[in-house]
Amino acid sequence: MSEHDQETETQEKETSTVALPGHRLKLTREDLHLSKDEVAHHLHLDVNIVEALETDKYDDLPSPAYICGYLRSYARILKLPEDEIVSAYSKGQEINAALIPETVSMEPEKKINPGIIKFVMLILIALLVAAGFMWFAEKFQMFDTAANTESTTIDVPVPDMNQPEMNQSAVIERPAQVQEQIQQFNAERTEVAIAQNEESASSSPLLIDEGDIAVEAAVVAEQVESGDLKLVVSEDSWIEVTDSEGKRHIYRLAAKNTEIHVNGVAPYTILLGNAEGVAVFYKNKSFNHKRYQRDQIAYFRLGLTEE
């Protein structure tokens, strides 16, 4: 082959190459210092489609009409003549111009960032660990509560008067709740007495002995089945009953729905820790102790005269 023929063949190849739209698009993009990723972002296309357009590999792309739309949009952002680029691709192919869209965009393939996946997994693991901890804490709390349940009611040692062999050296203590109420009771009665200028001993208020906190069970009389004083307990109540000779007949927490009889020497000094829950009967007559009541405490003497 002569030198002239070789030169002609080379020119034909270059002309053929330049005539393809992809090569022209690529050269222009590079002249503008644009990356393929930037072009793909502007066209809303996957970068693989941009590469296919620049290399004129159209087999994996949609129909010719869509390819023309891609080329037109690409040419537009590069400021190239759109019709020339499209014509260079079609080369006389019969493509219905009505089918060629002005712009064609395809959402790039969305890939999940591995960092996001890792973050979500860490959150899920943390939630599972927290849930497990709460479950174990709840179980622990349940067993602990079962083993250490505390009563919300007054809880004091109650001697069983029906058991003669009971430990008579036991000490019965006045509940702290009752002791606090007694202090408030005494304070209020003292204030009333001062306001009324009650100075004489005979008119001084009847105060409860705040130092009388604990007594030995041995000094409390045994419960009897009958007597001139009867206490009907409808609600749990701390009860103290002492007769005129100083003998303690009751010093304990009385359970609700019980009756207590006292057979001593009147008059009786009576303290009710939950006065609303105790009905008092003296010589078979009901005694109204409300006028001696302050809040929950009632303190009075009964039997000074025939009632």
DSSP string, 260-271: EEE-S-SSEEEE
Q: Are residues 185 and 287 in the same domain?
A: yes
Which of 74, 99, 124 is the last residue before a domain boundary? 99
Whether residue 227 lies inside any domain: the answer is yes
Total domain count, the chain: 2
Among 248, 303, 294, CA closest to 273: 294
Do 91 and 175 sit in the same domain of this protein?
no
pLDDT in tens, 8-53: 555 544 444 446 788 899 999 999 999 999 998 988 888 999 998 8
One-letter amino acid at 215 equals V
User: How does pLDDT run across 289-298, given as a tens digit for each residue?
Assistant: 999 998 899 9
Q: What's the pLDDT at 223? A: 84
**The pairing of beta strand 293-294 with beta strand 297-302:** antiparallel
Answer yes or no: is 151 within a domain: no
Q: Which amino acid is at 219?
A: V
Q: How many CB atoms lie within 10 A of CB 210?
A: 12
Predicted confidence (pLDDT) per residue in 279-289, tens digit: 999 999 999 99
Q: Does 13 map to a domain?
A: yes
Region 188-199 average pLDDT: 75
What mean pLDDT is predicted for residues 246-264? 93
What are residue 268's DSSP bridge partners? 302
Helices (H) and strands (E) in the chain, counts: 8, 11
Domain boundary among 82, 99, 116: 99
Six-digit token string for 71: 């080329």
Residues 72 and 194 grouped into a single domain? no
CA-atom Rg of the chain in angstroms = 52
pLDDT at 166 over 50: no
Residue 121 lies in a domain: no
Same domain, 87 and 191: no
Domain termination residue (choose one: 81, 99, 117): 99
pLDDT for the residue 280: 96
Under a CB-based contact definition with an 8 Å cutoff, are residues 39 and 50 in contact?
yes
56 found inside a domain: yes
Going by C-alpha positions, the residue among 181, 208, 194 that lies closest to residue 299 is 208
d(CA 150, CA 267): 38
Task: Verify that 286 and 186 share a domain, yes or no.
Answer: yes
**Amino acid 236: pLDDT:** 94
In a domain, 30, yes or no: yes
| Long-range CB contact pairs, 207-210, < 8 A, 24+ | 208/182, 208/271, 208/297, 208/299, 210/179, 210/182, 210/183, 210/186
Distance CA 163, CA 217 (A): 12
Same domain, yes or no: 187 and 86: no
Average pLDDT over residues 193-222: 75
Q: Which structural domain, as residue segments, surrounds residue 292?
A: 171-302
Say if residue 62 is in the same domain as residue 184: no
What's the whole-number mean pLDDT along residues 165-184? 79
Of all residues in the chain, the percent with pLDDT exceeding 90 is 36
pLDDT at position 140 is: 65
What pLDDT does 216 receive? 86
Tell me, yes or no, whether 94 and 176 share the same domain. no
User: Nearest 10 degrees: CA dihedral of 232, 233, 239, 242?
Assistant: 10
From CA 291, how far away is CA 285, in angstroms rounded? 17
The first and second tokens of residue 131, run together, are: 């849930």
**One-letter amino acid for residue 233 of the chain:** V
Q: Give the pLDDT score at 106.
A: 46
Evaluate the omega torsion of the peptide bond into residue 159 and state whether it is cis, within 30 degrees of 0: no
Residues 102-125 have a mean pLDDT of 69
**Mean pLDDT computed over 241-260:** 93
pLDDT number for residue 147: 42
pLDDT tens digits, 209-249: 888 788 888 888 888 999 999 999 999 999 999 999 999 99
Shared domain check, 206 and 86 = no
* pLDDT for res 237: 94
Domain match, 186 and 295 both: yes
184 with 95, same domain: the answer is no
> Does residue 163 surpass a pLDDT of 50?
no
CATH number at residue 34: 1.10.260.40
In a domain, 159, yes or no: no
- Per residue in 6-20, pLDDT (tens digit) is 555 555 444 444 467
266: left (phi over 0), alpha (psi -120 to 50) or beta: beta
pLDDT tens figures, 143-157? 444 444 444 444 444
pLDDT at 273: 93
Residue 255 lies in a domain: yes
pLDDT tens for each residue of 58-111: 888 878 888 888 899 989 999 999 988 988 887 645 444 444 445 544 444 455
Percent of the chain with pLDDT over 70: 73
On whether the CB atoms of residues 253 and 274 are closer than 8 A, the answer is no
For residue 100, count other CB atoms closer than 10 A to its CB. 18
